[in-house]
Amino acid sequence: MEVKKDILWRIYLAFLLICVMGLAIIVQIVRIQFVQGDEWRAKQDSMTLSFEPIEASRGNIFSDDGSLLATSVPIYDIRFDTRATAVTDEVFNAGVDSLAQALAALFKDKSWQDYHHEIKEARAERNRYYLLQRNVSFSELQQLKKFPILRMGRNKGGLIVDEKNMRQLSFGHLASRTIGTVRDIKPVGVEASFNSDLQGVGGQRLMQRISGNVKMPVRDKDEVEPRDGNDLMTTLDINIQDVAEHSLEQHLREHNADHGCAVLMEVSTGAIKAIANLSRNKDGDYVENFNYAIAEASEPGSTFKLASLMAAFEDGLVDLNDSINVGNGTSVYFGKKMEDAHPPKSPKLSVQQAFESSSNVGISRVIYQRYLKNPEAFISRLKSFGLSEKLGLQIEGEGQPFIKSVTDKSWSGLSLPWISIGYESKLTPLQTLTFYNAVANNGRMVRPMFVSKVLNHGKVIREFSTQVIRDSIASPQVLAKAHTMLEGVVQHGTASMLNKSPYKIAGKTGTAQIFNNKYGYDKEHMTYQASFVGYFPADKPKYSCIVVVYAPSNDVYYGGAVAAPIFKEIADKVYSNHLDMNESPSHTDSLILSNPLVKAGQQKDLHKVLGKLNLSAASENPDAYWVSVDSRADQMKANERKTIVGLVPNVVGMGLKDALYLLENAGLNVQINGKGWVTRQSIQAGTKIRRGQQIQIELS
């Protein structure tokens, strides 16, 4: 009996404990559900629900004529809600084969069987946010919307589209370094400097974390729409930019150079119309990966001689016709020998002649003899030209200019003569160009400008006007002498290869030895920097331009031979595209000619037409296919006009039919302006053709 009671007591106690525990559980459930419910639900939401940012559409960047340079192209991540309301087992099984085949045919990244297996597996796992494909284009998205199952739409067919933006340059690498990027490592160019204008204001979307740590949108009504960024209008002319880059690349290859740059600037406004920066990569290709024009400060070499002589002119220490004893073209300063690149034509030269021939000995002796007792006056005068100060550009990354002071620890007896010819100082190509541009602009120094307007949906919200750095860098008398010297360089001096242009050019060649950190200026390890900087038309300057080629290595390194031809190709392009720079061709001379003006064309057609008019033309070469006719003499003469495969033909003077035949057969894309016969072509005859390249022809 006692044993039975003991067992029952234990059973009752155990039952009681179970009841108490059950009651405690029920109490805790009620407490959690009704007392602490709101708190726990909030914690759950905070862990599974969150507002995620929606990227704003970045603003576009345009050239000066409205051509699109950079834009944000929408791309999409495509996901599939395998348990969408209308995707029943019947609908899914009927359409999954066709869907898999359509996806495989569109993306071609895996077989339709792989797609089929993965989609079925996602449905089995009840995946509500299965990734079908990343980085889908807009045209691909339009096709996707027509695929089986997905064509029922988002809510019914389970199609989920996540949009994002990708930056795209419309003209490839053209001006790509100046346009820039907002990459994480080091933002550069217009994109970086105007990021606050371009980036817009982002929105937000409520997202829920689901299995697999994947997030999917919850409700469209919770979205805050982003606000698009502003657009930028740059000063770049894409046609000139194209010529500048291709001309620079062609000559860099020809001279096997390490890198180079070219900049074209509008004289009166400072607007940068073209800026090219190319360097050779490890594969031997030339690419834009550094903005040398604005960032690389180096010893300018002979282009600095203009500033040296202007300083002496301004201080009244020398004149153009003053004589300099240059001897045999060598001079020694404190035991160090200075030489001219070429022996002088005479042991005595005028200042003008010394500048035209770029005589190191001549220029250094002018400055050394006149400033020996007061070198600080020379340095102060150079600084008064603005050469020691940054330009304060719209885009970041400008190199620091350096004009050595007499108080500098490295100042020596060699400094004065060597500074005078462009050494022991540093300037970027754009800083040098800005100085020459001021000379062309009658002394008015303007800040280079890359962006002219900020727009919002076509409406101008901010406009940038020309900013004057200095009203005048020198007196009118000194500027007149500078103009004379610069024109003389092209007419008689080191850039005489440019003096046959239909417009006048003024400028200065430069050939600088590049300091080697290991060998210094040792001749056996010497590399050079070739440059040309100037403006045109010289009698009424409209554009200034600088070309710098670093380390040409095919035994040709003088600025006149390496850089000046690039300058000319850019200038010719500008000249041919701007009617306001030259007088329109006039045919009124025909009124006083004894013979009519005749179009250039096929020789057989020419003689056929002239025969009908009882006229004739003497042939330079009876077998020539294409000819042009000289009507000025008493007897008309048909001169052969040769065409060379791979080079742009000369179609000036031809009728439209013949011009189109030649240009299109050469592989060029022709744009026609006007009617009549061809008076201008945008790409100079003899230029190497790039297939599909666009050429503009002006008709009278």
- Contacts of residue 139, defined as CB under 8 A and 6 or more positions apart, other chains included, come to none
Lowest mean pLDDT among 41-50, 333-342, 563-572, 672-681: 41-50
Task: Assess contact for 130 and 82: CB atoms under 8 A.
Answer: yes
- Hey, what are 449's tokens? 């400008």
Query: Is the dihedral angle over the CA atoms 236, 239, 242, 243 positive or is it negative?
Result: negative
What are the tens digits of pLDDT across the range 257-305? 999 999 999 999 999 999 999 999 998 899 998 999 999 999 999 999 9
554, 255 Cβ separation under 8 angstroms? yes
The residues, ordered by sequence, that sit 6+ positions from 2 with a Cβ below 8 Å of its Cβ are none
Residue 318 contacts residue 344 (beta carbons within 8 Å): no
> Does the global pTM surpass 0.85?
no
Return d(Cα 429, Cα 510) in angstroms, integer. Answer: 12
Amino acid at 515: F
Counting DSSP H helices and E strands in the chain, the numbers are 22, 31
Q: How far apart are CA 624 and CA 300, in angstroms?
A: 49
SS3 labels along 548-566: EEECCCCCCCCHHHHCHHH
Q: What is the biggest distance separating any 2 CA atoms in the chain, rounded to whole angstroms?
A: 155
Q: For residue 385, what are its two tokens?
A: 């030209």
Query: HEC states along 176-216?
Result: HHHHCECCCCCCEHHHHHCHHHHCCECEEEEEEEEHHHEEE
pLDDT of residue 603: 75
Separation of alpha carbons 167 and 541, rounded Å: 38
pLDDT at 147 exceeding the cut of 80: yes
Share of the chain above pLDDT 70, in %: 85
Cis bond upstream, residue 537 (ω within 30): yes
Residues 6+ apart with CB under 8 A from 434: 265, 270, 386, 391, 445, 446, 447, 448, 469
pLDDT of residue 523: 56
Tell me which of 220-229, 330-339, 658-667 is least confident.
220-229
**Residue 426 CB partners (closer than 8 Å, separation 6+):** 297, 298, 299, 300, 399, 400, 401, 402
Phi-psi map region of 143: left, alpha, beta (phi>0 left; psi -120 to 50 alpha): alpha
Question: Taking a C-beta distance cutoff of 8 angstroms, is the pair 116, 97 a contact?
Answer: yes
The strands making up 203-210's β-sheet, listed across from edge to edge, are: 49-54, 203-210, 214-217
**More confident position, 322 or 28:** 322
pLDDT at residue 695 greater than cutoff 60: yes
Which has the closest alpha carbon to 355: 468, 491, 503, 182? 491
Tokens 């084969």 locate to 97
Asked if the bond preceding 649 is cis, omega within 30° of 0, the reply is no
pLDDT for 597 beyond 80: no
Judged against a pLDDT cut of 60, whether residue 519 lies above it is answered with no
User: Are the C-beta atoms of 545 and 575 separated by less than 8 Å?
Assistant: no
Are the C-beta atoms of residues 278 and 291 closer than 8 Å to each other? no
Angle at alpha carbon of residue 152, lines to 149 and 156, rounded to 5°? 95
Residue 690: pLDDT band (50, 70, 90) is low
Among residues 457, 435, 460, 455, the alpha carbon closest in space to that of 446 is found at 435
Mean pLDDT on 381-398: 96
Two structure tokens written together for 586: 């006039």
Q: Which residue has the tokens 């817009």?
A: 200
Helix (H) or strand (E) holding 402: strand 402-403
Residue 331 sits at φ, ψ, to 5 deg, of: -150, 150
Helices (H), 395-534: 415-420, 429-440, 476-491
Q: What is the mean pLDDT of residues 533-544?
A: 96
Q: What pLDDT score does 586 carry?
A: 40
**83-101 CB burial, b ≥16 within 10 A, e <16:** ebeebeeebbeebbeebbb
Distance CA 484, CA 475 (A): 14
Q: At 581, is the pLDDT very low, low, confident or very high (cuts 50, 70, 90)? A: low
- How many angstroms separate the Cα of 299 from the Cα of each of 20, 445, 521? 93, 21, 13
**376 and 406 Cβ atoms separated by less than 8 Å:** yes
Phi-psi domain of 283 (left: phi exceeds 0; alpha: psi -120 through 50; beta: other): alpha
Confidence at 634, pLDDT banded by 50, 70, 90: low
pLDDT, averaged across the chain:
85
